[in-house]
């Protein structure tokens, strides 16, 4: 089909607002961030920024606070991604088997997803308070803890609460995604497997999972990105306390940028995170393709 | 799809009705404010960051000045109520053409927001600053020197306490008016001390013994702590460090080695760590009971706090019986930490209006009103008023006489946060007090040399 | 037949018990918002308030004296504007990328997808400087274009998928009738991609409604704060926190989302699944 001059003009017209908004508010900041990461740029010298090469990158990588926050982010991602996927898949798997109230379950399990991060974080902070309901339950009702557990006051305690929250909030999303995928698995595949004498578990591993491989990959990539994006929950629940030991990369970046004014440092940090994430996404795609 | 649209429409209507309803249920004066605030919120598109002399968005053709005032009276406090409902309406009435837009931030947020705004040229006109921040902001060059710019500065300053005014002076110039002063003293649970049969602690040794005795479990089997400290910053630790004979830096504020890691300072920190390890003190952890609730419900037996705590306790736990006394004396005496806020204007401010507001906030009327909610005045006339005489400020004013201020150096905020990190490592048993303070001495020396 | 019924009952038992754990925090939030403020450090702590204790004082404070409806309206205004802009812009982009070839098309699309990987918050410093330059600090106008820009990549990606499912024959027929590129967009693409646009928009609404770090950085004035900032404003770190108010406001801010969700839940699902299942 040939496009007339007028058509070309109209195509341009349709593209224009998108390109302008995207260009100004996303592309320009990306470029600016990249440039900033090579400059000394902080509160002290607002006007005297000067080029310092890879100095910021060196500083970030040698910073013990960054290393801790990076390790925390990795742990968070390694725990919450499989956690959400497995629980979400199981829920979807069960819902897929039942004949009634499917929609009801779907709606209720999805509630945590639509609860905002700020609110969910506050609820968790309240429940996991040293004097909170959960500790009372563990110590005085079912007696499995000898004394109140200091959930929010230690590195792993604080991260555990954040990870509980991450998983709790993510189950619904995974459930919906996997439920849709399960419904696309052709019924005759199951029948064929049954005739071959496959057990329920065998069907799960040899029929169901291979058939929804695409969805698993999709969820894996999206959730890994989500894991690196964790910010609000950690900021609200522990605020990085004690002594920045529960910081994740983004809360540490935000602290460096807006509490100490180290903009160059934070820009370099942001770029490192982006590169790590891009590489991870690429590896995940590759791995899935090889298994094909 | 249709259903969805209907729901959206219903929601929209509901939101609008709600706004109207809430607006009507308030008193007439507030209703006026409400409708105005809505105008501002809906038409902010052009308003932007023009803080200096933003045109009022109301229809009036006259040019009104909006004065932006940032502070850290907490949003739900009696101070904030007084500010919003008594002081600002009075100021606006006396000064037609000036509107005050007061914004409440949390203490740490305010510091952060000011730094960011300085970077982006969006500072407010006037701010209530922790006096410990003045040197830092002066160094950034964002504060206005009042003594050189305001012709009647001398008269205004003469009406305020000299000791309080000195907190705003850097290098011979004055960068703010003192707004209120304070210090911390010991609050204790009267009944708990009686039940334990111990006298009110007068010395550090007695205090430490009392903290240990008062800790344990209550009748419900819940843990109780002899002492609460809500954070581990200089504001919290200095009274102990000083009273036990230690120091943060030398007098000139040029050197920390030999002071922050002196045997006395190390001992103060170690004492804290030991008490924490024994479960006798707590409060700075994220999961701990907040200070006021813990004190009012008998979980924390003692605290060091400022005059505002009296109003707070009156509001939240009116039946709770407590008393106050001076800080227990150690080797260095009974030395509290000098607090207090200054009101300053920034270079970008609308200076005439800002100066008028600053004078208003430090005049006897405003100072007396604030005294009613626990802010100790610095205006000499207000200090002699009946309100202040009837308030229970006496022990605090005594403490102020001997209290010391935190190091007045530009890098104090940075030092303060390093101090918290270092001490929290000691509390968690990762380092001994000696190790942590030796390390910190090096860091401080570097910062001070910059 | 009997065995099947038993299996069903067991499945339901599993699902219901897991569900109780999932909704427990929400129930606790609601129950706390109905307790008088003084009862929050009670001993022993209780999951539900006593019947006689139930009070609406937290709600009346939040809605009346606290003036939080202003924050509510701010959030609503920002969310509606960003959603509308994003829907318009992303459908135009999605349509053009799906239907026409032009120089740089593949590059543009890959770049859009790539930006979905970048954690949004990493751009906060240059975006903040940009907001300063545009003079939109401390203004709702400082939120809308940024939220729009953030949601464009995902929205474009999804809408492009929907457009590709619309038969090209419909376009051709319109061109035969003398229609232009714009006519196709208005008469064919928008009406037929509506479910897709709707589902994307619901997500964008949620994003704008609950966004925290950016609004917290840009907005100063109490009367310009959005709901999440207002909620977090209750916290002075070691002051006493009025949890009753916090949760009353939280419940209140969840209501519109909940209502939209319940009535439009099939769009939520459509929005999620069309992207995932194809892959």
- Per the structure, the complete domain to which residue C204 belongs is given by 68-230+268-278
pLDDT value at position B50?
Answer: 41
Average pLDDT, chain A: 86
pLDDT value at position A136?
Answer: 85
Q: What's the order of all strands across the beta sheet hosting B281-282? A: B281-282, B227-228, B302-305, B185-189, B322-325
pLDDT value at position C271?
Answer: 61
* Beta-carbon separation of B4 and C138 below 8 A: no
CA distance A165 to A116: 12
* Beta-carbon separation of B290 and C241 below 8 A: yes
Three-class HEC string of chain C: CHHHHHHHHHHHHHHHHHHHHHHHHHHHHHHHHCCCHHHHHCCCCCCCCCCCCCCCHHHHHHHHHCCCHHHHHHHHHHHHHHHHHHHHHHHHHHHHHHHCCCCCHHHHHHHHHHHHHCCHHHHHHHHHHHHHHCCCCCCHHHCHHHHHHHHHHHHHHHHHHHHHCCCHHHHHHHHHCCCCHHHHHHHHHHHHCHHHHHHHHHHHHHHHHHCCHHHHHHCCCHHHCCHHHHHHCCCCCCCCCCHHHHHHHHHHHHHHHHHHHHHCHHHHHHHHHHHHHHC
End-to-end C-alpha distance for chain C, whole angstroms: 38
Average pLDDT, chain B: 82
Paired strand residues for B98: B65
pLDDT value at position C1?
Answer: 57
pLDDT value at position B19?
Answer: 41
- Read off the CATH number of the domain in which C207 is found: 1.10.3720.10
* Beta-carbon separation of B285 and A258 below 8 A: no
pLDDT value at position B34?
Answer: 38
Candidates A130, A145, A238: best to mutate against B (most CBs of B within 10 A) is: A130
pLDDT value at position B336?
Answer: 92
Q: How many CB atoms lie within 10 A of CB B82?
A: 19
Q: Is the pLDDT of residue B24 over 50?
A: no
pLDDT level of residue B342 (50, 70, 90 thresholds): very high
Classify residue C9: in a domain, yes or no: no
* Beta-carbon separation of C77 and B48 below 8 A: no
pLDDT, tens only, C44-66: 777 887 777 788 888 888 887 77
Chain B nearest-CA distance from A128, in A, is: 8
pLDDT level of residue C97 (50, 70, 90 thresholds): very high
pLDDT value at position B41?
Answer: 38
Count of CA atoms in the C-beta half-sphere (13 A) of B347: 11
pLDDT value at position B29?
Answer: 34
Q: Is the pLDDT of residue C77 over 80?
A: yes
pLDDT, tens only, C223-259: 888 999 888 877 654 455 678 888 888 998 898 888 8
Chain B nearest-CA distance from A242, in A, is: 7
pLDDT, tens only, B112-164: 888 888 877 788 999 999 988 898 888 888 899 998 898 899 888 889 888 88
pLDDT value at position A242?
Answer: 83
B40-56 burial code (b ≥16 CB/10 A, e <16): bbeebeebbbebbebeb
Task: Give the mean model confidence (pLDDT) for residues B177-194.
Answer: 91
Cα–Cα distances (Å) from B310 to A235, B34, B323, in that order, read 31, 32, 10
pLDDT value at position C83?
Answer: 94
Q: Is the pLDDT of residue B5 over 60?
A: no
Identify the closest residue of chain B to C225 by CA–CA distance.
B41
CA distance C57 to C128: 39
Q: Is the pLDDT of residue B32 over 70?
A: no
pLDDT level of residue B15 (50, 70, 90 thresholds): very low
Candidates A114, A216, A219: best to mutate against C (most CBs of C within 10 A) is: A114
Task: Give the mean model confidence (pLDDT) for residues B356-364.
Answer: 92
Average pLDDT, chain C: 84
Q: Is the pLDDT of residue B185 over 80?
A: yes
Which of A251, B348, B116, A235 has its CA nearest to residue C138?
Answer: B116
Number of domains forming the structure of chain C: 1
- Check the CA dihedral C239-C242-C245-C251 and report its sign: positive
Which of A240, A87, A109 has its CA nearest to residue A162?
Answer: A240
How would you class C103 by CB atoms within 10 Å of its CB: exposed for 0-12, middle for 13-18, buried for 19 or more? exposed
How would you class B126 by CB atoms within 10 Å of its CB: exposed for 0-12, middle for 13-18, buried for 19 or more? buried
Q: A: neighbours with 3+ CB pairs under 8 Å?
A: B, C
Count of CA atoms in the C-beta half-sphere (13 A) of B374: 19
* Cβ A258 vs Cβ A191: under 8 Å: no
* Cβ C30 vs Cβ C247: under 8 Å: yes
Task: Give the mean model confidence (pLDDT) for residues C116-126.
Answer: 85
User: What residue ranges of chain A have pLDDT lower than 70?
Assistant: 1-2, 42-48, 288-292
Q: Is the pLDDT of residue B23 over 60?
A: no
Q: Is the pLDDT of residue B358 over 90?
A: yes
Q: Report ipTM (2 d.p.).
A: 0.86
CA distance A36 to A32: 6
pLDDT value at position A41?
Answer: 73
Q: 107-136 in A: which are within 8 Å (CB) of C? A: 107-112, 114-120, 122-124, 126-127, 131-133, 136
* Beta-carbon separation of C127 and A25 below 8 A: yes
Classify residue C19: in a domain, yes or no: no
| Residue A86 contacts C where some CB pair is shorter than 8 Å | no
pLDDT, tens only, B263-293: 999 999 999 999 999 999 988 888 888 888 8
Q: 175-234 in A: which are within 8 Å (CB) of C? A: 176-177, 180-181, 184, 214-215, 217-219, 225, 228-229, 231-232
pLDDT value at position B400?
Answer: 86
- Identify the DSSP state of A207: I
**Strand bridging mode B185-189 / B98-104:** unpaired
For A189, the 3-state DSSP assignment is helix
Chain A nearest-CA distance from C140, in A, is: 16
pLDDT, tens only, C65-76: 777 888 889 999
pLDDT value at position B100?
Answer: 92
Chain C nearest-CA distance from A163, in A, is: 15
Helices (H), B278-317: 291-296, 308-316
How would you class B93 by CB atoms within 10 Å of its CB: exposed for 0-12, middle for 13-18, buried for 19 or more? exposed
Classify residue C137: in a domain, yes or no: yes
Classify residue C108: in a domain, yes or no: yes
Chain B nearest-CA distance from A280, in A, is: 33
Which residue in the set A243, A259, A261 is minimally distant from B421, CB to CB? Answer: A243
Identify the closest residue of chain B to A46 by CA–CA distance.
B119
| Residue C19 contacts A where some CB pair is shorter than 8 Å | yes
**Domain covering A58-291 in this structure, CATH number:** 1.10.3720.10
Q: How many CB atoms lie within 10 A of CB A34?
A: 15
pLDDT value at position A129?
Answer: 85
Tokens of C241: 């926190």
C61-83 burial code (b ≥16 CB/10 A, e <16): bbbeebbbbbbbbbbbbbbbbbb
Q: How many CB atoms lie within 10 A of CB B75?
A: 19
This prediction's pTM: 0.83
Cα–Cα distances (Å) from B353 to A261, B127, B350, B357, C269, in that order, read 30, 13, 6, 6, 56
Domains located in chain B, CATH noted: 67-182+339-402 (3.40.190.10), 185-335+411-449 (3.40.190.10)
What number of residues does chain A have?
292
CA distance A180 to A67: 39
């Amino acid at each position: 089909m040939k496009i007339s001059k007028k058509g070309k003009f109209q195509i341009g017209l349709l593209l224009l607002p998108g390109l302008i908004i995207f260009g100004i508010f996303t592309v320009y900041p990306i470029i600016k961030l990249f440039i900033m990461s090579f400059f000394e740029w902080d509160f002290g010298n607002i006007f005297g920024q000067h080029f310092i090469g890879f100095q910021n990158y060196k500083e970030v990588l040698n910073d013990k606070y960054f290393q801790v926050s990076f390790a925390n982010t990795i742990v968070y991602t390694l725990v919450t991604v499989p956690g959400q996927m497995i629980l979400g898949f199981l829920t979807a798997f069960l819902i897929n088997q039942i004949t009634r109230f499917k929609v009801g379950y779907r709606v209720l399990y999805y509630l945590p997803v639509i609860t905002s991060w700020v609110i969910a974080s506050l609820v968790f902070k309240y429940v996991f308070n040293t004097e909170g309901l959960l500790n009372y339950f563990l110590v005085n009702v079912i007696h499995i803890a000898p004394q109140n557990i200091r959930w929010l006051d230690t590195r792993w305690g604080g991260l555990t609460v954040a990870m509980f929250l991450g998983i709790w909030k993510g189950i619904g999303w995974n459930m919906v995604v996997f439920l849709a995928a399960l419904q696309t698995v052709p019924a005759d595949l199951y029948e064929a497997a049954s005739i071959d004498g496959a057990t329920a578990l065998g069907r799960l591993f040899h029929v169901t999972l291979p058939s929804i491989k695409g969805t698993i990959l999709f969820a894996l990539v999206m959730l890994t990105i989500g894991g690196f994006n964790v910010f609000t929950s950690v900021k609200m629940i522990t605020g990085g306390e004690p002594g920045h030991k529960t910081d994740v990369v983004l809360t540490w970046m935000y602290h460096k940028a807006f509490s100490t004014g180290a903009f160059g440092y934070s820009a370099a940090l942001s770029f490192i995170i982006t590169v790590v994430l891009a590489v991870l996404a690429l590896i995940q795609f590759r791995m899935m393709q090889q298994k094909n | 799809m249709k259903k969805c649209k209907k729901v959206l429409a219903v929601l929209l209507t509901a939101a609008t009705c709600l706004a109207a309803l809430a607006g009507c249920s308030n008193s007439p004066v507030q209703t006026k404010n409400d409708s105005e605030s809505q105008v501002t919120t809906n038409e902010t598109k052009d308003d932007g960051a023009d803080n200096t002399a933003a045109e009022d968005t109301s229809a009036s053709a006259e040019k009104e000045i909006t004065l932006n005032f940032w502070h850290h009276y907490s949003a739900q406090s009696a101070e904030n109520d007084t500010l919003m409902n008594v002081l600002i309406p009075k100021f606006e009435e006396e000064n037609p053409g000036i509107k005050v837009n007061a914004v409440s931030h949390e203490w740490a947020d305010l510091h952060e927001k000011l730094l960011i705004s300085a970077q982006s040229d969006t500072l407010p006109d006037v701010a209530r600053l922790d006096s410990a921040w003045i040197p830092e902001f002066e160094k950034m060059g964002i504060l206005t020197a009042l003594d050189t710019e305001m012709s009647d500065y001398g008269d205004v300053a003469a009406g305020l306490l000299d000791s309080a005014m000195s907190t705003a002076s850097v290098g011979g110039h004055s960068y703010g008016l003192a707004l209120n002063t304070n210090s911390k003293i010991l609050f204790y649970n009267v009944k708990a001390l009686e039940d334990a049969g111990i006298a009110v602690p007068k010395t550090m040794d007695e205090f430490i013994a009392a903290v240990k005795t008062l800790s344990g479990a209550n009748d419900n089997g819940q843990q109780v702590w002899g002492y609460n400290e809500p954070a581990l910053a200089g504001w919290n630790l200095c009274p102990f460090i000083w009273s036990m004979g230690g120091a943060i830096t030398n007098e000139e504020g040029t050197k920390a080695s030999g002071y922050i890691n002196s045997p006395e300072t190390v001992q103060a920190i170690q004492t804290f760590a030991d008490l924490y390890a024994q479960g006798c003190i707590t409060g700075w952890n994220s999961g701990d009971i907040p200070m006021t609730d813990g004190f009012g419900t008998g979980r924390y037996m003692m605290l060091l706090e400022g005059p505002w705590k009296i109003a707070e306790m009156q509001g939240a736990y009116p039946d709770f019986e407590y008393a106050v006394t001076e800080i227990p004396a150690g080797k260095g005496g009974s030395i509290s930490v000098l607090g207090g806020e200054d009101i300053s204007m920034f270079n970008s401010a609308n200076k005439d209006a800002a100066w008028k507001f600053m004078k208003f906030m430090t005049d006897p009327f405003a100072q007396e009103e604030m005294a009613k909610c626990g802010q100790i005045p610095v205006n000499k006339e207000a200090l002699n008023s009946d309100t202040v005489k009837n308030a229970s400020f006496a022990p605090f004013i005594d403490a102020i006489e001997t209290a010391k201020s935190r190091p007045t150096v530009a890098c104090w905020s940075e030092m303060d946060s390093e101090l918290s990190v270092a001490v929290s490592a000691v509390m968690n048993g990762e380092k001994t007090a000696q190790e942590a303070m030796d390390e910190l001495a090096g860091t401080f020396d570097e910062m001070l040399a910059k | 037949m009997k065995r099947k019924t038993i299996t069903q009952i067991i499945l339901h038992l599993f699902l219901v018990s897991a569900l109780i754990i999932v909704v427990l925090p929400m129930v606790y939030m609601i129950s706390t918002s109905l307790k008088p403020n003084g009862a929050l450090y009670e001993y022993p702590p209780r999951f539900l308030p006593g019947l006689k204790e139930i009070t609406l004082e937290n709600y009346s404070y939040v809605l009346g004296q606290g003036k939080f409806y202003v924050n509510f309206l701010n959030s609503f205004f920002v969310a509606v504007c960003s959603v509308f802009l994003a829907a318009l812009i992303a459908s135009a982009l999605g349509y053009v990328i799906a239907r026409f070839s032009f120089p740089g098309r593949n590059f543009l699309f890959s770049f859009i997808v790539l930006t979905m990987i970048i954690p949004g918050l990493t751009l906060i410093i240059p975006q903040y400087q940009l907001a300063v330059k545009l003079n939109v600090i401390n203004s709702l106008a400082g939120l809308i274009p940024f939220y729009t820009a953030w949601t464009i990549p995902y929205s474009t990606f999804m809408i492009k998928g929907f457009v590709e499912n619309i038969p090209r024959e419909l376009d051709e027929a319109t061109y035969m009738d003398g229609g232009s590129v714009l006519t196709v967009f208005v008469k064919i693409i928008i009406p037929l991609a509506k479910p897709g646009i709707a589902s994307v928009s619901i997500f964008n609404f949620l994003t704008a409604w609950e966004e925290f770090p950016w609004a917290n950085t840009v907005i100063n004035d109490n009367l310009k704060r959005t709901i999440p900032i207002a909620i977090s404003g209750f916290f002075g770190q070691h002051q006493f926190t009025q949890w009753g108010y916090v949760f009353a406001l939280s419940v209140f801010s969840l209501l519109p989302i909940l209502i939209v969700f319940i009535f439009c839940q099939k769009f939520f699902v459509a929005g999620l699944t069309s992207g995932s299942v194809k892959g």
